[in-house]
A and B are shown apart, each in its own frame.
Chain A
Amino acid sequence: MSSATTRMGIDKPILIAGAFVIVILLVGSAYTLATQGTLSFLSPTYLLQQLQIASFLGITAAGMMMVILLGHIDLSVPWTLSAAAMLATAVGGPAAVPVGLGVGLVVGLFNGLGVAYLRVPSMIFTLGVNTVLMGLMVILTGGFAPQSAATDLMLFFGRDRTFGIPHAVILWIAVSVAIVFILNRTPLGRYMYAIGNREAATYLSGVNTRLVIICSFVICSLCAAIAGLLLAGYSSRAFQAMGDEYLLPSIAAVVLGGTHILGGRGKYLGTVIGAVLIVLLQSVLSVMQMPEAGRQIIYGAVIILMLLVYGRGDKLRA
């Protein structure tokens, strides 16, 4: 296999996903043209709004990618997101954002310790953590009736714009720069790919694999917490189960972006495109006023079809 084929093997999903984004944009604009006589689907305000929504998913997916690259998965993202937002708003004031980020840090550390030291399969450990977080939040809201209004800082990043550009998108860009930096320029990123490919060989090369795993889970939970704070800012308040609809789409965004679900392969650009793709898909379906039933079916079918197309490259390898 020459390097050209390898490049094709990884970039192909990105090309296809990018092409599909364009297809969706065309379909959406064609629809609005036909029904309303305008290209409102392609208007800058609309697209920027989609980007703003995509940033919440995008940041969550960025964190999820870190863990999937290792060959693991993080099912505690829904309630980490919710808990970070709810605790932040409950605390309020200047301490809100640090508290929210602190939630991400603590959950990530806990997940990392469970997976790296206890070697519990990440799927089941993070599943348990998710349930525990939900339980804690139930106690919080049921027992204490905390405030749930977003603080100024959260509103600033989640809702506000400058020159029409949402701050959330800027934050997404910042997170992306950090992730790309980690993956491509630091030993940590190299080790993450290595562990996803062959943990035994990475361990025997003298790498502290446990530390790398912990770092990945911390980044993932931090990203989920950031997304939660942003979402609370966007909605002006935190609400129960706000994270539930981010789990499967974030996994889908990572996979549609070309990252292998078993780890070891994938480029961050793909995850970004994957997030944009999913948000655009959901929005074009809602513009078309497709009922929820149709939306789910199309969502699932698109994922399978795209994976089947990507998979053709893999067939040569297998």
Chain B
Amino acid sequence: MAYLQMRGIAKTYGGVRALTDVDFACERGSIHAVLGENGAGKSTLIKIIAGVVQPDAGTMTLDGREVQFSSPLEANAAGIVCIFQELSLMPDLSVADNICITDPPRTRLGLIDSRAQRRRAEELLARVGCEDIDPRERVRNLPLSRRQMVEIAKALGRNPTLLILDEATSALTSSDVTKVYEILHQLRNEGLSLLYISHRMHEIKELADTCSVFRNGRHIETFPKDAHTDHEVVQLMIGREMSHVYPPKPKWDTPPQPVLEVRNLSWPPVLNDISLTVGRGEIVGLGGLDGQGQRELLLALFGVLRGVQGEVLIDGRKTAIGSPARAKSKRIGMALIPEDRKTEGLMLPMSIGANISMAAMPMLTRGLVIDRSREAQRITEMIQQLQIKIGGVGDPVATLSGGNQQKVVIAKWLMTGARIVLLNDPTRGIDVGTKQEIYQLLRRLADQGTAILFYTTDYDELIGSCDRVLILYDGKIVRELVGDQITETNIVASSLNLSDQIERAAAEARA
């Protein structure tokens, strides 16, 4: 009998069916990967298992006993430990404090025994291969990859029988990733159940014994690792032929007129001597592993970073962009769709209308006053153009689904009539249908002459949407892929900075 068995699980979030009639089982001593696009229901499934949310229907049995967790603490007591993507570390506390935050070792007087705590932290850190982290160090002073290792050590310290990792390796360096794989394999051999969520196929191949695919809130299929080819798995995940997802790309006979040109841009230590151009009507993609400077590049162009060296030319003229207000101005006409729509893109309690018109305000005024009728008209236009599903314009934007929220962010910038659009991973956490609409919107904008610079963590988007792809590694552009060169092999190889080897091998194979 399976260690964890879920039957008929359903969960609805304010009108959106996150999970419908899900049967799911997970064995002891196995690494079980959960695959699916953003919005497929993976996160909801995990949150239910970990006790963060409660299902609306269905049952869950653990080791034969029926269970129901009303809080993460209860799930922990049952041996279920979850490592979420948003870290559960307190930045101002030390590593040791964080690792032993619940149930710390105590002295006879009932106070926290800091020496014993430090020893425990050292043990756990050694177990994840991070002996170099000093337990007395404040978490705030550690880089993100180290923090994630601390998070893993903390989870191990809770003696889990079922360990869930929700995109837990996204920020790790490659050597840390290898260490984590080793630990996970070892834990599996010791009989632990491991649930691993990721949308990175290569990770799944390294780790998993079993895979489950979710799509649109339903469990589609569970199968052992090599039962399907990559193509078949992707089919299961998206449910339709890949070629239908992306609008067709134009043919470029002559290179387009450069709108945005970057020369020798540096922002030490993250960005090193970057030069690129984006032309009228082009969609240029930024690729590469996470954390190679892609986000920082976009922020630098938008005027958010201080101390940026190098030159930026708009329409051939050297321009200094010192703030987003300046980037937005008519002369430059830049827009940035930021990384986290909830904290950087939207004012959640404010109305949908107020959010949409926030960036274009200077264009909607007559003198000192807001031209209300014009504002309302433009808002309606945007809502129609982007097909945003809303109840009423005065509703708080927090009531919308993720995909519609992202559309509001895009609408906000479309209203300014921007000619250069920067996008920072815009389709993360968005349902499939909205994603498609966004791809088509981007191509439409490009056809109208907008220059688009598009960072995404999803290879398929790079392949499907972009005319050119620039791969970043260590803050430098290591490869430019044009047209037919944009393939997954080339992207992956360049991301790992192995382009030459792979190309040679491919050439030899063809010969």
Contacts and interface: CB of A to CB of B under 8 A. Distances in A.
B410 interface: no
B347 A203 contact: no
Contacts of A206: 323-325, 327-328, 359, 416
A205 B358 contact: yes
Contacts of B359: 205-207
Interface residues of A, number: 24
A277 to B, nearest CB: 25
A193 B358 CA distance: 11
Given A6-B394, A206-B325, A206-B359, A1 B399 contact: yes
A198 B349 CA distance: 9
Interface string A1-44: 11100100000000000000000000000000000000000000
Interface in B294-351: 302, 304, 323-325, 327-328, 336, 338, 343-350
Interface in B347-369: 347-350, 354, 357-359, 361-362, 365, 368-369
A187 B344 contact: no
A2 B368 CA distance: 31
Contacts of B327: 206
A3 B336 CA distance: 29
A194 interface: yes
A2 B328 contact: no
B395 interface: yes
Interface residues of B, number: 36
Nearest to A1: B399
Nearest to A189: B370
A185 B348 contact: no
A198 B362 contact: no
B53 interface: no
A186 interface: yes
A132 to B, nearest CB: 30
The listed residue with most A CB atoms (<10 A of its CB), out of B358, B370, B412, is: B358
B110 interface: no
A198 B346 CA distance: 8
B396 interface: yes
Interface string A39-71: 000000000000000000000000000000000
A118 interface: no
Nearest to A264: B349
B398 interface: yes
Contacts of B399: 1
B433 interface: no
A197 B324 contact: no
B391 interface: yes
B269 interface: no
Interface in A210-268: 264-265
Given A3-B392, A205-B358, A208-B325, A190 B343 contact: no
A201 B346 CA distance: 6
A208 B326 CA distance: 9
B395 A198 contact: no
A2 B357 CA distance: 20
A200 interface: yes
Given A185-B370, A200-B344, A206-B416, 16 more contacts: A1-B395, A1-B399, A3-B395, A191-B361, A193-B350, A194-B347, A194-B358, A201-B343, A201-B345, A201-B347, A204-B336, A205-B328, A205-B359, A207-B325, A207-B361, A264-B349
28 contacts: A1-B395, A1-B396, A1-B398, A2-B395, A3-B394, A185-B369, A187-B362, A187-B370, A190-B361, A191-B361, A194-B347, A194-B350, A197-B350, A198-B347, A198-B348, A201-B338, A202-B347, A202-B358, A205-B358, A205-B359, A206-B324, A206-B327, A206-B359, A206-B416, A207-B325, A207-B361, A264-B349, A264-B350
